[in-house]
Structure 1
Amino acid sequence: MMGTILAGHFQLQDEIDAARQALHAAGFADQQISSFFLNPPGQHDTFGPGGDRARSPGAKDTPAGLAKGAAAGGVIGAAVGAVTAPVTGPLGPVVGGLLGAHVGSLYSFAEMKEAGAPEAGGENRAPPRPPGMLIAVAVTAQSEAAALAVLRRLGAHHLERAEGTIVAGDWRDFDPLSAPRLVA
């Protein structure tokens, strides 16, 4: 059964241990508390081959951009190789084309990276959770203020409220890719 969960980030394991003890002292059972290390974005291993997604969100234009750069560079390189054919021999246009394609693809990749155009719909996205130690506690309407006071007093940062289930100290339905709902 899903309920409300409050979570806060700390930098050190000792801070997590102190928060766990303070939450116990405030009346929260060990089964209601979950703590774990949260990996940086892209390193959650939620996708089969590794990582978070099948495709990097900012890489949607990469195949077309690289092909365009490689084609343009290849044509220019082959033309230069053809002009130098009397000196380089029959391999001049081939080597020139290959070298030009490589340089063209690198140039187009750098150009796409510098453009930095945001993804469609990405402008309004909440920033991802920061990596580090996370402690979460299942709360009720009556106990939420007490848990929030404990976490704030101990210096938790990026406090968030979520819906989920903590069973035997494990936040089973935690989604590292979900947008955090920060507590003001």
Structure 2
Amino acid sequence: MSLIVAARFDTFDEAAVAARKLCTEGFTEDDIHTFYINTAGEHARFPIGGDRVADPDSKGGHFGAVAGASALGLLFALLGGLIAARLAASILIVIAAAGVGAYLGALAGALWVVGRGRRGRPGVPPAPDVHPGLRQAGVMLALHVSPDRDAAARKVLSEAGGRDIERAQGRWLNGKWEDFDPLRPPRRVDAPSMAG
């Protein structure tokens, strides 16, 4: 495993300026890998797209849909039955009312349950295991460094405008961070101070 220091930039031009600064500090082009990271959810890990099998906030949504469909479907069927009895109308009104109620209930029930973890208590962030730190979209400049050059690399990246500087252990092969995983939470580190 190799030590890798990386930073995020807004444009490829900004990353190119940082790469030139790194080269003037003695790093080689084979030690620098620049690539773009998509927004979370757009990494196409599955055939139909997306990063995960399900959104963590959707947990329990199907139970809310079934409960809402049952409750409102029954309520609308009763109301439809009362209306049908008063107007001496056909049973189709009861069936239609039950269907409309079930549809609206499923929608309302699912929406009520989905995201409840986020609504929890105001001002309290969600648990980190539910929503681990994600990388922001942007241009990533990754740098293969030796442990003794780590601080210098972070300082140059910071001075060049790099944000969200992180350190990782990974496989560096042919000038690229081969095992980079955009879904793995980053281990962010601070850049050394100008005086250090």
Give the structure-1-normalised TM-score.
0.90
**Residue 170 of structure 2, aligned match among 135, 154, 164:** 164
Name the residue aligned to 1:96.
97
Same amino acid, percent of matched pairs? 33
Aligned mates of 2:58, 2:111 — CA distance in 1: 12
Structure 2, unaligned runs of 5 or more: 121-125, 191-196
Name the residue aligned to 1:35.
34
Name the residue aligned to 2:22.
23
User: 1:110 Cα shift?
Assistant: 2.5
Aligned mates of 2:17, 2:118 — CA distance in 1: 43
Cα root mean square deviation, aligned: 1.9
Structure 1 counterpart of 2:104, which letter?
V
Aligned mates of 1:158, 1:117 — CA distance in 2: 24
Q: Is the 1:11–1:132 Cα contact (8 Å) retained in structure 2?
A: yes
3-state SS of the aligned residue for 1:47? coil
3-state SS of the aligned residue for 1:54? coil
Q: Is the 2:58–2:114 Cα contact (8 Å) retained in structure 1?
A: no
Aligned mates of 1:5, 1:115 — CA distance in 2: 38
Aligned mates of 1:114, 1:58 — CA distance in 2: 5
Give the structure-2-normalised TM-score.
0.85
Aligned mates of 2:112, 2:56 — CA distance in 1: 17
Per-residue CA deviations over 1:52-92 (Å, capped at 9, x if unaligned) read: 11122121201111111111111111111111114352210
Structure 1 segments, 4+ long, off by >4 Å, are none
Name the residue aligned to 2:127.
123
Query: Number of residues paired by the alignment?
Result: 181
Structure 1 residues 97 and 49: CA distance shift in structure 2, 3 A: same
User: 1:141 Cα shift?
Assistant: 1.2
3-state SS of the aligned residue for 1:181? coil
Q: Is the 1:31–1:166 Cα contact (8 Å) retained in structure 2?
A: no
Aligned mates of 1:104, 1:118 — CA distance in 2: 21
3-state SS of the aligned residue for 2:63? helix
Structure 1, unaligned runs of 5 or more: none
Aligned mates of 2:135, 2:65 — CA distance in 1: 32
